[in-house]
A and B are shown apart, each in its own frame.
Chain A
């Protein structure tokens, strides 16, 4: 379980998060919705330990992240998989080396075992026989899928997705949604998906949370969110320019 309590974060004079609270139950997929530039990715990076909050705490399975020493922090990182918006594959490494990056560093697997693991993880995301290619040779959708294969290489307990469908055509985007669902079924992971793509959100979410003005405005199942009486929620899910949410 991931608990986010009273998270504040500012960059200079810009207050991005102003007391965000959120609980993600084990095994569920939580989708965090919100405007572009509204702090969703910042919140996700705070949960992943990539950014530190100014105030508040993040607890993973009951232990506060801030109470962990460096070694514990590194061990925790291996329990997380993170899919970046632009995939963030290492340019200088092949696809296979990208996928097995953590395994090469933290296990004593032989090169042939690593190739087998890379091939298996790549097959999970529908990509076979591309281990020796470089990331520059792949399309945007393929890069995201390789990023996903890398994120699940260590059999993580938590997977964090930062705008997984942004920049993809609708068919590739739906393929990514299917992958999120299949990985959840296969690995029984707890997932957090940050997106402003409502089609994707409805498809993958067990619950949704709307981030507005630096706080979680509302949480609920997709059905509850759709039936919400909040003008803010209604404006966002229907994508209307007019309403309480101002254009950033």
Chain B
């Protein structure tokens, strides 16, 4: 009996949480549309806040994203070199496409999404969560400043725009990393390596890979801001919100990746 009660409680909690998240998403989207509307009508906007988030989420993520991309491209090329040369007896002319296809379609977008989740999702949840438990979010309201507009919208826009940019850079650096190893291990020339890539990699692959990251950016911003605003219970609550933001965003990125890939395959 207690097992079923506990199951029912868990289900009820899940339904409540989903409902609260949905209301949050609606509020964030409404605030974002209002921001865009104000921008079109030439009203005074919080551009410094948006630019600050572009820098925090975009520029400051560049080193870690590019380092990861470089070594992932390198290891991908190493594995491909060994497979093509040893197991497939010297079919090394396909090394470019072997690195580029999985990287541009999957590894670049997903790895960038996961790294930004760890670096930025946790920071967003911790910052807003700390503000929530120290009443700074309430203080914004008393100063006639809607917290969603002041804290949520700049982070949402920055995540949506910065994820594709970071992924594009990661793709370039990953392919370069692959070339360095392909050149060093099996002596492939630049013309061979880069000449092979356009044979297989289409504009659709690029669009699909970068398109997915817009959704990943949305997931990171929504989940992290939601966890931050919902924080209660002091330092322990902030820690819980931070962990939840990273875990939930990471899982949603991995799960949505499958469905977004299937969706893009229909249209691109």
Contact = CB atoms under 8 A, between A and B. Distances in A.
Interface of A: 45, 48-50, 74-75, 77-78, 80-82, 84-86, 88-91, 101-102, 105-106, 150-151
B141 A84 contact: no
Nearest to B146: A74
Interface stretch (B85-93, B131-139, B186-194): B131-139
Nearest to B142: A82
Contact of B144 (A45, A85, A102): A102
A225 to B, nearest CB: 29
Main SS of the interface on chain A? Answer: mixed
Contacts of B1: none
A84 B135 contact: yes
B143 A101 contact: yes
A88 B143 contact: no
Nearest to B143: A102
A212 to B, nearest CB: 25
B145 interface: yes
Interface string B96-138: 0000000000000000000000000000000000110011101
Contact of A50 (B130, B131, B141, B144): B141
Nearest to A160: B142
B134 A75 contact: no
B144 A88 contact: no
24 contacts: A49-B141, A50-B141, A77-B142, A77-B144, A78-B143, A78-B144, A82-B138, A82-B139, A82-B142, A84-B139, A86-B135, A88-B136, A88-B138, A89-B136, A90-B131, A90-B139, A91-B136, A101-B143, A101-B145, A102-B145, A105-B143, A105-B145, A150-B143, A151-B142
A37 to B, nearest CB: 15
Contact of B134 (A45, A80, A86, A151): A86
Contact of B136 (A74, A75, A81, A90): A90
A44 B138 CA distance: 12
Given A86-B134, A91-B131, A101-B143, 5 more contacts: A45-B138, A74-B146, A88-B138, A89-B139, A105-B144
Contacts of A82: 138-139, 142
A78 B145 CA distance: 10
Contacts of B138: 45, 50, 82, 84, 88
A223 to B, nearest CB: 33
A74 B139 contact: no
Contact of A48 (B134, B142, B145): B142
Contacts of A78: 143-144
Contacts of B143: 77-78, 101-102, 105, 150
A88 B141 contact: no
Interface in B127-186: 130-131, 134-136, 138-139, 141-146
B47 to A, nearest CB: 13
B144 A75 contact: yes
